[in-house]
Structure 1
Amino acid sequence: MKVVTDAAANLTRQRATELDVAVVPFQVTFRGETYKDGVDILPEDLYRMYMEYPEDFCETSQPSVGDFVEVYKENANEEILSIHLSSGLSGAYSSAEHAARILERENVTVIDSRTVGPALGWMVETAARGVKLGWPKDRILEAIRLVGENTLTMVAFSDMKYLRHSGRVSHIKSIIASVLHIKPIIGMNAVDGRYSNLGQEMTLSRAAHKMVTLVQERFGEQKLRLQLMHGSNLPGVAILREAMRDALSVVEEQLTTVTLVLGAHAGPTVFGLAAAPQSVFDQLFK
């Protein structure tokens, strides 16, 4: 069985190799140059370019149907689990589905994660570990569902211009937020897989504490698997980590850069977290 995903899963090339996962890249175009995410550009490269050219924006494009057809053909003799960025944010899932229909193969199962970033990565990791353990497909699908339903993702940022330019939030609301210097907190809607407004605060410190409160309200005092992420905003990460101290019991993973397909529309000031009960993973792989 082969697991396929896209670059929104926040998997480094080394981690994807360790898990034996095929990663299909997105494309990003900036200042007339087009790059493949994870192939000839990394998220930190884009954030650096954003800082160098603060008046410019980039455009992202989903993997094509042909990109998926190629990967599926390369693994034609295996059962394929193809797990992708939320269909509410991108057409990657649709491209993968279309590719599976073109090939007319029943051995390709395409999954809409309804999430992004480390949360998607944890679903992919769960599938890959299940494959290595020889689990049947039904058990892997149930494990993926369990991880997805128990993971919380949220980000905050101080500069709304990138989201405003992307068209992914109300233009009027984003202008008001910029004028008032409001720091919005954005999460994922589990029903439609789109961005959801979880709140707004006047300072980054208050936004960080609000995120911690939202995690506490969702998970209580459970020990959490947690990963912090950012664009180019280490001060924001430090504020969030301080807000977490003594408030959450966590097994913290290595700090990661926000996946390019999200960061391209959120900009370099983005920072946030993904969290899930550690017990979910302990029970799956005990």
Structure 2
Amino acid sequence: MTPTFSIITDGGIDAFPSLLNDVPVAPFSVNFGSQTYKLGQISRAELYRQLETNPEHPTSSQPTPQDWAEAARATAVGDVLGVTISAGLSGSHNAAEQARSVLDGVNVTLHDSRTLSGAQAFQVHAAATAAARGESLETALTWMRAVHEETEIYFTIETLEYLRRGGRIGRVTATLGGLLNLKPVITVDKATGAYTNVGRARTYKGAIEAVAQQLTTRYGEGTPLRLGLMYGSVREDADALLEHVRQRHPVVWHDFVGVNPVLNIHTGPRAVGVVAAPGNWPWER
């Protein structure tokens, strides 16, 4: 089938190798003082080296309208569907809106994923599947909304220090009572598209188990799940999380991705998360 539209996204995505996630990306940037790296210009290994040795605390910058315009121009098919990181976490969606003014003759539809990372990747996969099957852009939006409703993302981090420094700790700190030694289990609130805390543990190992327990609480023990696993500096954390989930659920699909450097500067190096949904994709039922 010939696609009738193209898909672009931003650097909020952590793309899974086995999903239809290979689309043009409007990149975020990582900044260490006056040194700026666009997504793709700094490796995960180099990021961890910089975090250990660079006295400057890193910050991130959202894509510019020009970045979005370049991503749109990189597509080759029809109308453009832009899938953005949650507007509750970044101004990327606003930048994409502004890009429309310089994209004469290109019809751009924007979709706020209201999430990020692997959960954003699930929605891009839904849109790309619709495009590959020759479905309409409206069908793609319907499939993305269905995926959003049934998909959850949970992650934990070894230290809250990076979220605190980046100013993104908000409701997470409030619900932890400011006890920075506790390891949080964090999700993205479906209503606000912002981070919120749903659990805690005294140790990082315990927090990984608590992430797995959240899936059972959400979907019910024994429910078959699709799992996308995201990891920071320690890949084995994702393997451990997968094994915890497998003790309670049949896993019908899974894949792994290292958290991209821009997201990783907010979580800190050691982090692990999962994006999950029940059974088959909505269009396969």
TM-score by length of 1: 0.87
Alpha-carbon separation, structure 2, partners of 1:277 and 1:253: 12
From 15, 24, 39, give the equivalent of 1:11: 15
Q: Which AA in structure 1 matches 2:219?
A: F
Counterpart residue number, 1:139:
139
Residue by residue over 1:165-220, the C-alpha shift from the partner in whole angstroms, topping out at 9 and shown as x without a partner, is 00111497589423xx2101111010111001111111123212221221112112
Alpha-carbon separation, structure 1, partners of 2:109 and 2:240: 41
Q: Which AA in structure 1 matches 2:36?
A: T
Counterpart residue number, 2:238:
237
2:230 is aligned with 1:226: no
Pairwise CA distance, 1:77 = 6.7
Q: Check whether the contact 1:205–1:240 (CA below 8 A) recurs between aligned residues.
A: no
Alpha-carbon separation, structure 1, partners of 2:189 and 2:48: 26
Alpha-carbon separation, structure 2, partners of 1:20 and 1:194: 26
Structure 2 counterparts to residues 172-251 of structure 1, below 5 A: 176-178=178-180, 181-220=181-220, 221-251=222-252
Pairwise CA distance, 1:263 = 1.3
Provide the secondary structure at the position in 2 that maps to 1:243.
Answer: helix
TM-score by length of 2: 0.87
2:114 is aligned with 1:110: no
Q: Which moved more, 1:60-69 or 1:104-113?
A: 104-113
Change (3 A) 1:22 1:172: closer
- Whose helix fraction is larger, Structure 1's or Structure 2's? 1
Pairwise CA distance, 1:69 = 2.3
Counterpart residue number, 1:150:
150
Alpha-carbon separation, structure 2, partners of 1:231 and 1:19: 20
**5+ residue gaps in structure 1?**
none
Q: Which moved more, 1:139-148 or 1:162-171?
A: 162-171
2:268 is aligned with 1:264: no
Alpha-carbon separation, structure 2, partners of 1:68 and 1:240: 35
Change (3 A) 1:29 1:5: same
Change (3 A) 1:252 1:51: farther
Q: Check whether the contact 1:19–1:128 (CA below 8 A) recurs between aligned residues.
A: yes
Percent identical among aligned pairs is 32
Counterpart residue number, 2:37:
35
Q: Check whether the contact 2:24–2:74 (CA below 8 A) recurs between aligned residues.
A: no
Aligned residue pairs: how many? Answer: 278
Residue by residue over 1:43-95, the C-alpha shift from the partner in whole angstroms, topping out at 9 and shown as x without a partner, is 44323422344x54211101101222233345587211000100011111111
Change (3 A) 1:199 1:77: closer
Pairwise CA distance, 1:102 = 4.8
Change (3 A) 1:200 1:48: same
Q: Check whether the contact 2:15–2:257 (CA below 8 A) recurs between aligned residues.
A: no
**5+ residue gaps in structure 2?**
none
Residue by residue over 1:96-133, the C-alpha shift from the partner in whole angstroms, topping out at 9 and shown as x without a partner, is 11212454667210010000111101111111111011
